[in-house]
Amino acid sequence: MNLQSYNDQDLVKLYITGDENGLQELLRRHKSKIYTSIYLLVKDQYLAEDIFQDAFIKVINTLRSGRYNEEGKFLPWVMRIAHNLVIDYFRKEKRTPIITSSDGMDVFNMLHFYDESAEEKMLRDQTHKDLKAMIHLLPDEQKEVLLMRHYADLSFKEIADLTEVSINTALGRMRYALSNLRKMLKTKEMTYKG
C-alpha cells in the first residue's frame, strides 16, 4: 500500500479506522512545516518540540474522539492548533508585547503618562492589564498577526507564509487589530475619566 499517493483526508480516514500508518504518513508529510512554524514563534528548539508534541496529542485525541470535521483542511487545522498552543504558552509566561502603531508609536505611550503619582501608577498597571484583556477580545486572525509580530518578532513576510495569506492581508489584519485596540482603549479611558 503506497500511502504517498493518498491525500490528507484519506489518510485521516485511514487512521480513524484504526490504521496507524495514516497518522505516520501525515506526520512524515507535515512535520517539518508545523515544527518550523512553531520554532519561528518560540525560537527555542526544546520548547518547539514540546509544543509540537502537545499539538499532535490534541490531533490524536480529536481524531480518536470522532470530533474532527475539517474536510480536506488537515494542515491548516493542525497549524491552528499549534499556533493556539504557542499563544497559550506566551499567555502563561505573561510576556507583554510592545505594541506599536503604524507610525511607530508604542500604544502604551498613547496613554500619556508623565511623572506618576501612586494613583497614576495604579491606573497605568490597570491599563496594561486591560490592554492584555483587549488583545484577547480581538478576532482570531487579528490576534494571531499581532502576537506573531510582537511576541515572536516575525516579519510580515514570515507571518504571511505561516498563515498562508498574502503580505497585504497580514498587514491589513495588523492595521485592523491596532485600530480595534485604539477604539477599545479610548472607550476605557473615557470610563476612567467618567
The yes-or-no verdict on residue 80 having pLDDT over 80 is yes
The yes-or-no verdict on residue 10 having pLDDT over 70 is yes
Q: Round the CA-based radius of gyration of the chain to a whole number and report it.
A: 20
18-50 per-position pLDDT tens digit:
999 999 999 999 998 888 888 888 888 888 899
Lowest mean pLDDT among 5-14, 48-57, 147-156: 147-156
Please give the grid coordinates belonging to residue 75. 494542515
Residues 6+ apart with CB under 8 A from 12: 22, 26, 63, 68, 74
Lowest mean pLDDT among 126-130, 147-151, 156-160: 126-130
CATH of the domain at 170: 1.10.10.10
Buried b (16+ CB within 10 A) or exposed e, 80-112: bbbbebbbebbeeeeeebebbbeeeeebbeebe
The yes-or-no verdict on residue 83 having pLDDT over 70 is yes
For residues 66 and 152, membership in a common domain is answered with no
Q: What range does the domain containing 178 cover? A: 117-193
CATH of the domain at 85: 1.10.1740.10
For residues 2 and 93, membership in a common domain is answered with yes
What integer best gives the mean pLDDT of the chain?
79
**Which one, of 105, 112, 15, lies nearest residue 56 by Cα?**
15
- pTM to 2 decimal places: 0.53
For residues 45 and 124, membership in a common domain is answered with no
The yes-or-no verdict on residue 119 having pLDDT over 70 is no
Maximum pairwise Cα distance, the chain: 73
In a domain, 3, yes or no: yes
